[in-house]
A = this chain, B = another copy of it.
Amino acid sequence: MSVEPTVASRLIFRGRAIALRVDEVRLPSGRAASREIVEHPGAAAVVPLTDDDHVVMVRQPRKALERELLEIPAGTLEPGEAPLVCAHRELAEETGLRADEMTPLLTFAPSPGILTEEITIFVARGLRADPGAAPEAEEEGLRVERVPLSAVPALINAGDIRDAKSLIGLLLLRWR
C-alpha cells in the first residue's frame, strides 16, 4: 500500500548509480505535494572483525563531501544480487579478504526523506587473505587500514568515522 498516493510521476534522470524521479502525491489533508526521490538499488556493508579485535576499514575519497572518510567496506547491489553475496564480494574487492562467517546485523535507510536506498550491514569473522582479490583498491584511491576496536570511540569523536553505515555497524556491534 502506498503511504502517500501517487497522482503523477516523472522520471528526471537515469544514471549509472542512481535515478531521480519527482512524484506528485496527495497528503492526508487532501492537499497535493511533490516528492523528489532518488532511486538506488540498495547496498551491503561489512564490519570485518579480526581475531585480535581490529576492524578492517577503508580510507577513500568522497567527491560529494570533498574529503576522505574512513569507512567499513561496502558497495551497491548488482541486479538481482542478494545482500549476503554483495557483502562477500565487496569485502574481497576492497580489502582482499575472505570471511568464514558473515552474520547480518541490521538493515537501515540512510536518508528516507529522499532516498530509496537500504543498506544491510553484516559482521564478518574468520578473515583470511585471498591473493586473488582486491583489484579495485589502487584504481579508486582506496587505502585499507586496520583499526583497533579500542580506537573507534576516539575516531568517532574526532569526526574521522562519520558515515552512517560505519557508525551504525560499529555502535551496534558494541551495543550487542
Residues of chain B contacted by A171 (CB below 8 angstroms): 167-168, 171-172, 175
Residues of chain B contacted by A107 (CB below 8 angstroms): 159, 162
Nearest-neighbor residue (CB-CB) of A142 within chain B: B28
CA distance A157 to B115 in the complex (A): 22
CA distance A63 to B7 in the complex (A): 12
Residues of chain B contacted by A140 (CB below 8 angstroms): 27-28
Dominant SS among interface residues on chain A: mixed
Q: How many residues of A contact B (CB 8 A)?
A: 64
CA distance A46 to B159 in the complex (A): 19
Residues of chain B contacted by A68 (CB below 8 angstroms): 3
A112 interfacial by beta-carbon distance below 8 Å: yes
A103 interfacial by beta-carbon distance below 8 Å: no
A25 interfacial by beta-carbon distance below 8 Å: yes
